[in-house]
Amino acid sequence: MEKIERLISIIMILLQKNVVSTTEFSQLFKVSKRTILRDMETLSLSNIPIYSIHGVNGGYGIMDEYKIDKRLLSSSDLENILTALSGLEQILINEEVEVTIKKIEAMISPLSLKASIQLSFYDWQGRSELLHTLRSCQESILKRRLILFDYIDKDGNITNRIIEPYQLHFSETSWYLKGFCLDRMGYRTFKLYRIDNLKIDEKTFKPRDSLLELEHEANYQPQLVPIKVLISPSIKDQFIERYGRKSIENYSSEFFLVTIYVPQNSIGFQFLASFGIHLKIIAPKTYVDDFRNYLNKMMEKYA
């Protein structure tokens, strides 16, 4: 066991018990009593309020004030964690998160649950269907096991992939899997909704040394183009939320002028089209032309 892990374990044990002897700690962690003494000195220097009791029934304890403070966290800290976990629970729909939330709720006085922040997300049916894929990916990451699946790209093409999974990532409204693709011999990011027939392989893998490349892949952003659009007052709040107040200028009694950055591709076009008649792109001309072509193709579907 690493020293930092042992120190955390000592704190957690002392928070649960009144007094623990040096011998008990020494036997539990399979280290010498001298090592335990040094650990206690380290914790004391880190402002953890540990005290010692001499004698036959002696040992180490932690100040009751910290126990009242719920495992070194204040009620406010716990409420903040609970708020964050409540949001994660809605996105992830994970039983483990639900259990964790119930544990933290039990640590907080009912009178202190102010509920000053509440997070709400649409309860899409697809999210619950995604849970199996999420759990399989999480299991394979923790156990360092290869995964195999069929991947369907945006054009509907299906490829078979073998992946070293490294990380699950939630962005905007979707979950992504980041890992090393043995078929492409490079780091890739996969949208979980496009993964099908996922299987965890018996083979394990050793994490690669070049994980900086994964970080680069994870931080990849599409090229954004500055455009000017006219928007109706009815959608002003949505642009303030996404781009900030400084992006909006007064234009007329009917419209605001907004400068924003969006991709010049189907992703950007879909975003802009979602505002319907409440938005009009006015510059640059190349973006206007591409967006018009996108809308024309859409209209052809209903011709």
- When pLDDT is cut at 50, 70 and 90, the band that residue 276 belongs to is very high
Same domain, 146 and 176: yes
Same domain, 11 and 55: yes
Share of the chain above pLDDT 90, in %: 42
User: Does the predicted model carry a pTM greater than 0.75?
Assistant: no
DSSP state string for 152-178: E-TTS-EEEEEEEEEEEEEETTEEEEE
Lowest-confidence pick of 57-61, 117-121, 191-195: 117-121
Quick one: pLDDT at residue 299?
Answer: 92
Same domain, 165 and 206: yes
Same domain, 205 and 245: no
Instruction: Indicate whether 120 belongs to any domain.
Output: no
Higher-pLDDT residue of 69 and 277 is 277
Q: What is the Cα–Cα distance from 236 to 248, expressed in whole angstroms?
A: 8
Mean pLDDT of 142-156: 92
Same domain, 148 and 213: yes
Same domain, 152 and 108: no
Mean pLDDT of 116-131: 65
Same domain, 16 and 36: yes
Higher-pLDDT residue of 206 and 114 is 206
Report CA Rg, the chain: 27
Instruction: Indicate whether 290 belongs to any domain.
Output: yes
Number of domains in the chain: 4
Instruction: Indicate whether 122 belongs to any domain.
Output: no
CATH of the domain at 205: 2.30.30
Mean pLDDT of 14-33: 86
Q: Rounded mean pLDDT of the chain?
A: 82
Mean pLDDT of 39-66: 83
Same domain, 277 and 232: yes
Mean pLDDT of 15-19: 78
Last residue of a domain, one of 36, 53, 68: 68
Last residue of a domain, one of 36, 51, 68: 68
Q: Which tens digit of pLDDT belongs to each residue from 178-216?
A: 999 999 998 899 999 899 999 999 999 998 876 666 655
Q: Domain of 193? A: 132-218
Instruction: Indicate whether 52 belongs to any domain.
Output: yes
- When pLDDT is cut at 50, 70 and 90, the band that residue 111 belongs to is very low
Same domain, 62 and 83: no
Quick one: pLDDT at residue 81?
Answer: 65
Same domain, 239 and 290: yes
Residue 55, both tokens: 């004698």
Quick one: pLDDT at residue 274?
Answer: 93
Q: What is the Cα–Cα distance from 277 to 229, expressed in whole angstroms?
A: 12
Q: Of the ranges 70-79, 92-101, 211-220, 258-267, which is most confident?
A: 258-267
Instruction: Indicate whether 274 belongs to any domain.
Output: yes
177 CB-contact burial (10 Å; exposed 0-12 / middle 13-18 / buried 19+): buried
CATH of the domain at 11: 1.10.10.10
Q: What is the Cα–Cα distance from 96 to 92, expressed in whole angstroms?
A: 10
Same domain, 90 and 163: no
Quick one: pLDDT at residue 195?
Answer: 94
Last residue of a domain, one of 180, 195, 218: 218
Instruction: Indicate whether 124 belongs to any domain.
Output: no
Q: What is the Cα–Cα distance from 19 to 58, expressed in whole angstroms?
A: 7
Same domain, 213 and 155: yes
Instruction: Indicate whether 165 belongs to any domain.
Output: yes
Instruction: Indicate whether 117 belongs to any domain.
Output: no
Q: Which tens digit of pLDDT belongs to each residue from 78-98?
A: 666 666 666 565 556 556 666
Lowest-confidence pick of 28-32, 165-169, 211-215: 211-215
Quick one: pLDDT at residue 70?
Answer: 46
Quick one: pLDDT at residue 46?
Answer: 77
Contact 16, 66 (CB under 8 A): no
